[in-house]
């Protein structure tokens, strides 16, 4: 049984940043999110990989204690080619190959269906909706998305968003989704669909959280060298779902704490390529950065 389940992509990324490049790196929204969540809680993953997917990457997830019972194998693995220029806040998608994602059924294994904490990470919003229907009684459902889906499936995305408790989205994508330059308006548009929390990620400037009557701004760690921001958003969100599940508390004040842990993990992730840093660090390193955040925000 997994109390925390994450639906999303597992893929192979080719990434280029001003500081170097990697090819065929293990990536995908569900990968980053589940690795982050697994610092706090046993996490199940629902995704699809191709027959070409490296065995060692499967072993890597298993060794982290991620339950891969929901991972289908079919065709060719999802691939993403991304480029970051000097403004590291925005990834430019050079190529997206959906491959096996086109056949994905998003079937939730029986043993995952009673999970209380569900993260519908970045993937086709119709698959997010299909997956969500199969959970018996989730307590907290969080949804992420990106420009690729806003551009191609906006209507389906808005329908799925309405069923979530929290929506987490990049600033640029929040503006794009509601066709407004104003993030407060975007957040209020999310809340008016039904979710109780709208969390807007602002890359190296932190993240904002809006509820009907509260507003919180989580700082970003002042990183002098960002090596590769890939997975920052997914590891931030994965941390939030993992922390909320571990503490079993979905109050607004606990969501604030979860966001600070998310900022800690996302910033450590951005200091290395791909998943190299998240593989290396321990929960103690995360807690140290969390304490530093407490210190720098005092006034
Ligand atoms: P982020 O946390 O936003 O940096 O997400 C980076 C990850 O998103 C990469 O590892 C990609 O494999 C994955 N990705 C890129 N495009 C898509 C897409 N259209 N749907 C789902 N995942 C994607």
Q: Is 274 in the pocket of ligand 1 (CB under 6 A)?
A: no
The contacts of residue 279 (CB under 8 Å, 6+ apart) are 35, 60
Q: Is 239 in the pocket of ligand 1 (CB under 6 A)?
A: no
pLDDT value at residue 256:
97
| Nearest alpha carbon, ligand 1 atom 16 | 80
Q: Which two tokens stand for residue 152?
A: 């191609």
Q: Helices 125-133 and 154-161, interaxial angle, to 10°?
A: 30
> How does DSSP classify residue 181?
S
Q: How far apart are CA 91 and CA 83, in angstroms?
A: 6
Distance between start and end Cα atoms, the chain: 43
> How does DSSP classify residue 188?
H
- Count of CA atoms in the C-beta half-sphere (13 A) of 60: 18
pLDDT value at residue 73:
97
Q: Is 124 in the pocket of ligand 1 (CB under 6 A)?
A: no
The contacts of residue 211 (CB under 8 Å, 6+ apart) are 191, 196, 197, 198, 252
Q: How far is the CA of 299 from the centre of ligand 1 (A)?
A: 36
pLDDT value at residue 111:
96
Q: Is 232 in the pocket of ligand 1 (CB under 6 A)?
A: yes
Would you write out the chain's pLDDT as a tens digit for each of its 299 residues? 689 999 999 999 999 998 889 999 999 999 999 999 999 999 999 999 999 999 999 999 999 999 999 999 999 999 999 999 988 878 899 999 999 999 999 999 999 999 999 999 999 999 999 999 999 999 999 999 999 999 999 999 999 999 999 999 999 999 999 999 999 999 999 999 999 999 999 988 899 999 999 999 999 898 888 889 999 999 999 999 999 999 999 999 999 999 999 999 999 999 999 999 999 999 999 999 999 998 887 77
Global pTM value:
0.96
71 touches 45 (CB < 8 A)? yes
Q: Using alpha carbons only, how large is the chain's radius of gyration in Å?
A: 17
Region of 265 please: left (phi>0), alpha (psi -120 to 50) or beta: alpha
pLDDT value at residue 168:
98
Burial of residue 99 (CB within 10 Å: 0-12, 13-18, 19+) is buried
Q: How far is the CA of 30 from the centre of ligand 1 (A)?
A: 9
């Amino acid at each position: 049984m997994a109390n925390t389940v994450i639906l999303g992509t597992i893929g192979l990324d080719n990434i280029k940043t001003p500081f170097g490049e990697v090819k065929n790196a293990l990536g995908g929204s569900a990968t980053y999110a589940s690795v982050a969540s697994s610092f706090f809680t046993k996490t199940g993953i629902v995704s699809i990989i191709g027959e070409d997917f490296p065995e060692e990457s499967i072993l890597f997830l298993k060794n982290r204690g991620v339950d891969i019972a929901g991972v289908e194998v079919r065709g060719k693995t999802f691939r993403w080619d991304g480029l970051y220029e000097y403004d590291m806040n925005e990834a430019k998608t050079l190529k997206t190959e959906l491959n096996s994602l086109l056949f994905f059924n998003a079937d939730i294994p029986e043993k995952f269906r009673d999970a209380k904490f569900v993260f519908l990470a970045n993937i086709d919003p119709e698959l997010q909706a299909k997956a969500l229907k199969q959970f018996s009684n989730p307590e907290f459902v969080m949804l992420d998305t990106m420009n690729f889906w806003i551009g191609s499936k906006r209507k389906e995305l808005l329908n799925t968003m309405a069923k979530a408790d929290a929506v987490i989205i990049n600033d640029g994508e929040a503006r794009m989704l509601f066709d407004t330059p104003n993030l407060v308006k975007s957040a209020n548009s999310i809340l008016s669909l039904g979710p109780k929390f709208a969390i807007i990620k602002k890359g190296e400037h932190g993240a904002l959280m809006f509820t009907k009557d509260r507003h919180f701004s989580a700082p970003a760690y002042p990183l002098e060298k960002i090596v590769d921001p890939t997975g920052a958003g997914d590891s931030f969100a994965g941390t939030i779902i993992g922390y909320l599940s571990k503490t079993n508390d979905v109050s607004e004040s606990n969501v604030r704490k979860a966001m600070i842990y998310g900022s800690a993990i996302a910033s450590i992730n951005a200091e290395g390529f791909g998943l190299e840093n998240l593989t290396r660090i321990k929960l103690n390193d995360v807690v140290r950065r969390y304490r530093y955040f407490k210190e720098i925000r005092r006034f």
